[in-house]
Chains A and B, each alone.
Chain A
Amino acid sequence: MKMLMSVLAIIALGLTIVPSILVFNGTIELDLHKKLMTAGTFLWFVAAPIWFRKEKV
């Protein structure tokens, strides 16, 4: 579960950052970048809390 969430969280960070690079080099428009960032945000806050959760001893 934790492994899956770590992968999803990294994908979420990618969705947050990579679209801006694509806007910068003219590959996509600002509107699409905003939508992809929104998707990345939701995914981050679903996956990251589980990824960051410490195992109970």
Chain B
Amino acid sequence: MAKTLKQQLAEVNEYEREPIPASALKSSGSFIGMYAGEHTAGTEYVIGPLFVAHGVGAADLVGGLLVGNFLAVLSWAFLCAPIATKVRLTLYYQLEKICGINLTRIYNLVNGLMFCFLAGSMIAVSATAIGIPFNFPMPKLTDMYPTSIGWVLTVFAVGTVITLVAILGYERIARFANVAAPWMIGVFLASALAVLPELGVTSPGDFWGVAKSVIWTGIPLEGQDKFTFWHVMFFAWFCNMAMHIGMADMSILRYAKKWTHGFTSASGMFVGHFLAWMASGILYAVYLQKNTGEFAPGPVSFYAAGFAGAACVVIAGWTTANPTIYRAGLAIQAMMPKTTTWKVTLVVGLVTTIAACFPALVMRLLDFVALYGLILMPMGAIIFADFYLAKRIGFLPDYAWRAGTEFNIAAALTWTLTLAFCLGLNMFAGVEIFFLGLPGWFVAIILYVALSKSLQRKILTEAAV
């Protein structure tokens, strides 16, 4: 007999507050598909063109992407996966043990909002494809606010469907991403290849010359900052900083049978963040020649690949927005453990959809992604220090859980002082947001160790007295 929707929803069990049992562990194949699908996404249709708009040179792009993506894979494999497969808890529950329930609530709120905005940008990207038949004006590079009623209605239609899929849980999300990933990658590459002759590439030997002189010319569009090798490298490394160094993917990699499954992130990096970014840059270069002023992945892809291209933009947005809304749901559900996951995800989907109505999310995506990683990074550094350094240096791991406190002051100070340090570097030393993550991580580690050593000793001494 078919189960009712209510029964199905009640059965969604994502092990939010318990270690993953051996029976639920997944092999590397699940993660290869998930990472390839998640990082061959709607945002790839935006990031590649934004590199073109920011005047990245061809050699800087290729070199920066190769090095940056390699560093990102190492970050997943050596920082996030070993801890995820050892503790097998969600990021949020692990944080609760270290930071206390009240600090984790604040973190979850910030984290959930960030995920909402990220998923929102993907819903917006999907909407540029769904909106093609309705012929309303698409957003331009300079648009920040909703541009028409048609745009808002389309965004809401897309957001509703994505939220409903996310409500049905991780299994369905992973299955959908696995099915769509090979086809999406094919469409990305085929679209770019098919339009290369329009740029003057008729044989493989022509490509590099055209790449340097027509696509990635090194000259930014009017009103855009110039990007160098370092921008590309650090962006490729840190665009998922919240996931690897920030440890958000503990919630995903806790399902991995072995820590080495962290290397499966290479499928996402070198297919999505290398080939797909280059492919979408090529598509945008063709569209720039038509000079419409629109910055809308749907019409760009539709021009190169017809219905399949538009469908790819929609599905690429879905396969990333779904796990992102799922993560946001987990983040906020951890604040309200008595509320069911599906109800939280429904609210998260609504917030996400409202955010998606604003084209600013898409046009300033590079800055937003960098900011999002930076804000969440210090908590990942705290988990790292707690896991690897606590016993060696001599402070208590899982301090909040052991001391029975609901607010770990050392962790709160580490988070805020690290962000203050990064803000200071940005405001007073002029360091751009893309470069703040690396010094910030070391500062966070030093701060957490030093503060834990001094504050824990004081509290424990008082307790002993």
Contact = CB atoms under 8 A, between A and B. Distances in A.
B314 to A, nearest CB: 11
Given A26-B202, A37-B308, A48-B183, A19 B190 contact: yes
Q: Is the interface of A mostly helix, strand, loop or mixed?
A: helix
Interface residues of A, number: 24
B182 interface: yes
A2 B311 CA distance: 25
B311 A41 contact: yes
Scoring B186, B191, B195, B202 by chain A CB atoms within 10 A of each residue's CB, the highest score goes to B186
Interface residues of B, number: 23
A44 B183 contact: yes
Q: Is the interface of B mostly helix, strand, loop or mixed?
A: helix
Given A37-B308, A38-B306, A41-B311, A20 B190 contact: yes
Interface in B184-205: 186-187, 189-191, 193-197, 201-202
Nearest to B204: A24
A24 B179 contact: no
B178 interface: yes
A34 B202 contact: no
B131 interface: no
A49 B179 contact: yes
Interface of B: 175, 178-179, 182-183, 186-187, 189-191, 193-197, 201-202, 305-309, 311
Interface of A: 12-13, 16-17, 19-21, 23-26, 30, 33-35, 37-38, 40-41, 44-45, 48-49, 52
19 contacts: A13-B182, A16-B186, A16-B308, A17-B186, A17-B189, A20-B191, A24-B201, A33-B305, A34-B308, A35-B306, A37-B187, A37-B190, A38-B307, A44-B183, A48-B179, A48-B182, A49-B179, A52-B175, A52-B179
